[in-house]
Amino acid sequence: MTTIPYKTYLSEAELPQAYYNVRADMKTDHRPLLHPETLQPVTVADLEPIFCRELAKQELNATDRFIPIPDEILQFYRMYRPSPLVRAYCLERELDTPAEIYYKYEGGNTSGSHKLNTAIAQAYYAKEQGLKGVTTETGAGQWGSALAMACAYFGLDLKVFMVRCSIEQKPYRKVLMETYGATVLPSPSNTTIAGRSFLADDPDSSGSLGMAISEAIEVSLADPNYRYTLGSVLNQVLLHQSIIGLETKAALDQLAVEADILIGCAGGGSNLGGLMAGFIGDKLKGGRGPHIIAVEPASCPTLTRGKFSYDYCDTGKVTPLAMMYTLGSGFVPAAGHAGGLRYHGMSPIISQLYHDGYIEEARSYGQKDVFAAAIRFARCEGLLPAPESAHAIKAAIDEAEKCKENGEKKVIVFGLTGMGSFDLSAYAAYNADLLENTGLEESSLRSSLAKLPVV
Ligand SMILES: *Cc1c(COP(=O)(O)O)cnc(C)c1O
C-alpha cells in the first residue's frame, strides 16, 4: 500500500487547459436572468454595457462544456497554481477519527484567497477588449485585493467600493489594494446617486455588498471605457473557479482516492461551484459522486432559510433579476465577521443544483462555533484559515466526528478558500470572548422576504 503524501501538487504541465461549464451537463438549466425593466430574458447585448463582451458571452453560455483558458491567463496561473491538495493528517490525529480528511488550499497567493482565479480572467478579457479600467465592490476585501493584483498585472485602472464596516474591521486590506494601484472608496459613499440615497435612508449605514454593487455599477455605466466586475455569484465566476475542482479531482485520481463527502463554504457560491466542478459532471450523468455540503453563517442563511425566487442581485435594483435562493435584496446581515459570506443571494447554478438535489445538503453555523473550529484547525495544521473557510472546516470536523462515532472510514474533502492573516481583528474578538452565535430573527427574515419582486 502506498502512503499518501501530506501534499499533492499536480505538475505545471497537468494544469487544466480549459474551464468546465457545468451548465452544459445540467438536466434543468437555471431559469434565465431577467432584464430589470422588461422582465425578458437578458441577451448578450443587454449585458454588454455592464460586462466586457467575452464575459457577457460566458455568462449566457449553456452549451460549451469546456472553454479553453487563454495563454495569458495560464501564464499567470503558473505563478501560483496548481494549488496543493493537503492530507490533514494532524487534524485526523487530533480528532482521533477513522475518516481521511483532505483540503484544497487556495490561500497561497498574496490576495490570500481563491478569488484571484477569476480576477485574472476578468482583467484579461477587459484588457483584450481595450478597456481602460473596471469597477467593483468588495466585502471583506479578498475580492478587491485579488482584482487589484490582476489589474496591476494587465495595466488596468480599478475603482473599488468597499463595504464600510469591513474597511473599519480590515484596514490593511485597503492598504493592500492601494499598494497594487487601486482606488478604494467606503460604501455607501456620497460619490454616487445610489450611495447618497442609501445614506439618506441611514446616515450611519454599515453598508452591504448589495449597496456596494449598486454604486460600482453606476460608476462603470457612466464611462464607456469601464466595465463592472463581480467576484462571485455569476456563471462566469463559477466557470473560472472550476479550475479548483478540476485540479482536486486530478490529484485525488493520482492518489487513487475517491471523495465521499465534499464540503465548501457558501457566500455567493463560487468556491463551492468551483470545487464541485471536478465531481458533479458524473453525478449529473447518473453516475456516482460525493455527498455535497454547502456551509453558511447562521446570520446570513441563504440556502438554509432563504426563498428560491427571482430577485435583484443588488440593493438598488439596477441588476438583472436572478432565480436563486435569496434573503431579499434589501437584506443587511448583522455585522458578523465572515465578511465574504454576507451576501443576500446565491449563485443561480448552485441554487438550481441544490433545488434539484445534486447538492444534497446545506447547513449553517454560528460564528463562535466556527472560530472554535478555525482555532482547533490552526493549532494542529499550522495554517490560520480565513473565517469564511472556517465554516467548511467546522463541517469537516463534524463529519469526521460522526465517522468516529459510527466507525466509518469516509473520505472528506473540503475547500480551504483563504488564509486569515488579515482577519486578526476577528480572531481578537473571539479570543476576548466577544463573539456570539448571532442568528437571524424569523421576523426580520419574513419582512425582508415580503419585499421580493413579483415576477
Ligand atoms: C469570498 C470568499 C468566500 C465566499 O465566496 P464564494 O463565492 O461563496 O466562494 C469564501 N472564502 C473566502 C476566503 C473568500 O474570500
DSSP labels, 206-268: ---HHHHHHHHHHHHHT-TTEEE--SSSSHHHHHHHHHHHHHHHHHHHHHT---SEEEEE-SS
Residue whose grid cell is 461551484:
273
For residue 42, CA distances in Å to 39, 215, 295 come to 8, 21, 30
Spatial separation of the C-alpha atoms in residues 283 and 414, rounded to whole Å: 18
User: Which residue has its alpha carbon closest to ligand 1 atom 9?
Assistant: 271
- The verdict on the CB of residue 236 being under 6 Å from ligand 1 is no
* H runs (alpha helix) in 88-135: 89-95, 116-128
- The verdict on the CB of residue 115 being under 6 Å from ligand 1 is yes
Ligand 1 geometric centre to CA of 200 (Å):
30
List 321's β-bridge partners, or say none: 34, 312
User: Are 374 and 399 contacting, i.e. CB atoms less than 8 angstroms apart?
Assistant: no
User: Which residue has its alpha carbon closest to ligand 1 atom 7?
Assistant: 270
List 297's β-bridge partners, or say none: 365
User: Which residue has its alpha carbon closest to ligand 1 atom 5?
Assistant: 267
- The verdict on the CB of residue 345 being under 6 Å from ligand 1 is no
Spatial separation of the C-alpha atoms in residues 109 and 450, rounded to whole Å: 42
List 102's β-bridge partners, or say none: 87, 413
Instruction: Give the per-residue pLDDT at 53.
Output: 97
Spatial separation of the C-alpha atoms in residues 140 and 164, rounded to whole Å: 10
Ligand 1 geometric centre to CA of 405 (Å):
31
Is residue 119 over pLDDT 60?
Answer: yes
The number of the ligand 1 atom at minimal distance from the alpha carbon of 241 is 9
User: Which residue has its alpha carbon closest to ligand 1 atom 15?
Assistant: 142
Mutate to test the pocket of ligand 1, among 265, 272, 276, 303 (most ligand atoms within 8 A of CB): 265
Ligand 1 geometric centre to CA of 3 (Å):
32
Is residue 1 over pLDDT 60?
Answer: no
For the segment 121-137, the average pLDDT, to the nearest whole number, is: 98
* H runs (alpha helix) in 8-82: 44-47, 53-60, 71-80
User: Which residue has its alpha carbon closest to ligand 1 atom 14?
Assistant: 340
User: Which residue has its alpha carbon closest to ligand 1 atom 1?
Assistant: 340
Q: Which residues of 411-426 are buried (b: 16+ CB within 10 A; e: fewer)?
A: bbbbbbbbbbebbeeb
Spatial separation of the C-alpha atoms in residues 160 and 178, rounded to whole Å: 10
**What percentage of the chain carries pLDDT values higher than 90?**
89
Q: Based on DSSP, count helices (H) and strands (E) in the chain, helices before strands.
A: 19, 15
Is residue 365 over pLDDT 60?
Answer: yes
User: Are 318 and 214 contacting, i.e. CB atoms less than 8 angstroms apart?
Assistant: yes
User: 3-state DSSP call for residue 104?
Assistant: strand
Is residue 276 over pLDDT 90?
Answer: yes
Residue range 322-363, pLDDT digits in tens: 999 999 998 887 766 666 687 899 999 999 999 999 999 999
Mean pLDDT of the chain: 95
Confidence of residue 307 (pLDDT cuts 50, 70, 90): very high
What count of other Cβ atoms lies within 10 Å of the Cβ of residue 168?
Answer: 13
Spatial separation of the C-alpha atoms in residues 204 and 190, rounded to whole Å: 12
- The verdict on the CB of residue 341 being under 6 Å from ligand 1 is yes
Residue range 13-32, pLDDT digits in tens: 999 999 999 999 999 999 99
Ligand 1 geometric centre to CA of 417 (Å):
7
Cell of 345: 443571494
Spatial separation of the C-alpha atoms in residues 158 and 161, rounded to whole Å: 10
Residues 6+ positions from 25 with CB-CB distance below 8 Å: 65, 280, 281, 284, 285
Is residue 440 over pLDDT 70?
Answer: yes
Give all domains of the chain, ordered by start, each with its CATH number: 7-14+82-112+235-449 (3.40.50.1100), 18-68+114-228 (3.40.50.1100)
Spatial separation of the C-alpha atoms in residues 234 and 231, rounded to whole Å: 8
Instruction: Give the per-residue pLDDT at 210.
Output: 82
- The verdict on the CB of residue 300 being under 6 Å from ligand 1 is no
Q: Which residues of 256-267 are buried (b: 16+ CB within 10 A; e: fewer)?
A: ebebbbbbbbbb
Q: What is the DSSP letter of 12?
A: G
User: HSE of 103 in the Cβ direction (CA atoms, 13 Å)?
Assistant: 28
Instruction: Give the per-residue pLDDT at 330.
Output: 85
Ligand 1 geometric centre to CA of 142 (Å):
8
- The verdict on the CB of residue 169 being under 6 Å from ligand 1 is no
Confidence of residue 441 (pLDDT cuts 50, 70, 90): very high
User: HSE of 339 in the Cβ direction (CA atoms, 13 Å)?
Assistant: 27
- The verdict on the CB of residue 241 being under 6 Å from ligand 1 is no
User: Are 279 and 309 contacting, i.e. CB atoms less than 8 angstroms apart?
Assistant: no
The number of the ligand 1 atom at minimal distance from the alpha carbon of 341 is 4
Mutate to test the pocket of ligand 1, among 110, 236, 271, 354 (most ligand atoms within 8 A of CB): 271
Ligand 1 geometric centre to CA of 40 (Å):
30
User: Are 441 and 331 contacting, i.e. CB atoms less than 8 angstroms apart?
Assistant: no
Is residue 198 over pLDDT 90?
Answer: yes
User: Are 279 and 246 contacting, i.e. CB atoms less than 8 angstroms apart?
Assistant: no
For the segment 195-202, the average pLDDT, to the nearest whole number, is: 95
Task: Kindly report the pTM of this predicted structure.
Answer: 0.97
Confidence of residue 147 (pLDDT cuts 50, 70, 90): very high
Ligand 1 geometric centre to CA of 340 (Å):
5
For the segment 310-319, the average pLDDT, to the nearest whole number, is: 88
Mutate to test the pocket of ligand 1, among 115, 177, 370 (most ligand atoms within 8 A of CB): 115
Mutate to test the pocket of ligand 1, among 83, 104, 113, 384 (most ligand atoms within 8 A of CB): 113
Q: Which helix (H) or strand (E) holds 395?
A: helix 387-406
Instruction: Give the per-residue pLDDT at 334.
Output: 76
Residue range 54-94, pLDDT digits in tens: 999 999 999 999 999 999 999 999 999 999 999 999 999 99
For the segment 28-51, the average pLDDT, to the nearest whole number, is: 96
- The verdict on the CB of residue 230 being under 6 Å from ligand 1 is no
- The verdict on the CB of residue 139 being under 6 Å from ligand 1 is no
By DSSP bridging, strand 85-87 and strand 7-8 are: antiparallel
By DSSP bridging, strand 157-163 and strand 183-187 are: parallel
Which candidate, 425, 371, 387, places its Cα nearest to that of 167? 425
